[in-house]
Amino acid sequence: MSPNYMRSFSEGCLRPPTVIGQFHTLFFGSVRMFFLGVLGFAVYGNEALHFSCDPDKREVNLFCYNQFRPITPQVFWALQLAIVLIPGAFFHLCAACKNIAQEEILQKSFYTGFYIFTVFLRIILEVAAFWLQIQLFGFKVNAIYMCDVGALEKKFNVTRCMVPEHFEKTIFLIAMYTFTVITVVLCVAEIFEISCRRLGFLKTQ
């Protein structure tokens, strides 16, 4: 590969063309992933093992836990991060393949429009994930979960289950909602920064 191509690849793929975009990448890649990878495992890693119901039978616990968690939060948030990364990764891959320098992105209307489109896609995906997270997890994890075991046990239809570390999980949920809101705000601010640069209110990098 030529030095010019490698330079374009490193600029196009690793560094967004805006200051806010670079901060978003740092926030998204470092803080959010670290929070999910390290603290998420500490909070949710052994949840299934400590989830217990009355009666405390393995099959009842497993049945109710699957009902309580149709999808584990770590998997959901990992998928969210991966999907939200796709539009930006696709743009930077195209920029690298076409040998587009970073400064050209905000100078040519087509590249600018394409980049803004990917930012809009990120916003839409984040909002969709935010709504889906509400449907799956709500805003609070209760200490008691009432499980419908009618399909499993003939003696009773509903049983009580204890949710371990429910308060920590509530805090973690709020934190993940907050991260989603912050990333959406950063995406909106990035579009505003691009508009200001195109109108000449800010100097292009």
Tens digits of residue pLDDT in 34-85: 888 788 878 887 888 888 888 778 888 888 898 898 888 888 988 988 898 8
Beta pairing, strands 158-162 & 144-148 = antiparallel
Q: Which CATH number fits domain 20-204: 3.40.50.720, 3.40.190.10, 1.20.1440.80, 3.40.50.2300?
A: 1.20.1440.80
Q: Measuring CA to CA, how many Å separate 95 from each of 8, 29, 82, 84? A: 8, 20, 20, 18
Return the pLDDT at 13.
Answer: 46
Confidence label for 158 from pLDDT (cuts 50, 70 and 90):
confident
Domain ranges of the chain: 20-204
Return the pLDDT at 170.
Answer: 92
Collect contacts of 71-74 with beta carbons under 8 A, ≥24 apart.
Answer: 71/136, 72/44, 72/47, 73/40, 73/44, 73/137, 73/169, 73/172, 73/173, 73/176, 74/36, 74/40, 74/41, 74/44
Asked if 53 and 64 count as a contact pair (C-beta separation under 8 A), the reply is: yes
Structure-token pair, residue 153: 């046990």
Return the pLDDT at 157.
Answer: 79
Return the pLDDT at 156.
Answer: 65
The CB density around residue 170, as the number of other CB atoms within 10 Å, is: 16
* Angle CA 77–39–33, to nearest 5: 50
The CB density around residue 21, as the number of other CB atoms within 10 Å, is: 22
Return the pLDDT at 89.
Answer: 83
Return the pLDDT at 149.
Answer: 82
Q: Is 46 helix (H, G, I), strand (E, B) or coil?
A: coil
Mean pLDDT over 91-98 rounds to 81
Confidence label for 12 from pLDDT (cuts 50, 70 and 90):
very low
Indicate the average pLDDT of the chain: 81
Confidence label for 27 from pLDDT (cuts 50, 70 and 90):
confident
Mean pLDDT over 21-38 rounds to 78
Tokens 């289950």 belong to 161
Asked if 141 and 166 count as a contact pair (C-beta separation under 8 A), the reply is: yes
> Which residues, including other chains, have CB under 8 Å from residue 53's CB and lie 6 or more apart?
60, 61, 64, 147, 149, 159, 160, 161, 162
Confidence label for 114 from pLDDT (cuts 50, 70 and 90):
confident
Confidence label for 193 from pLDDT (cuts 50, 70 and 90):
confident
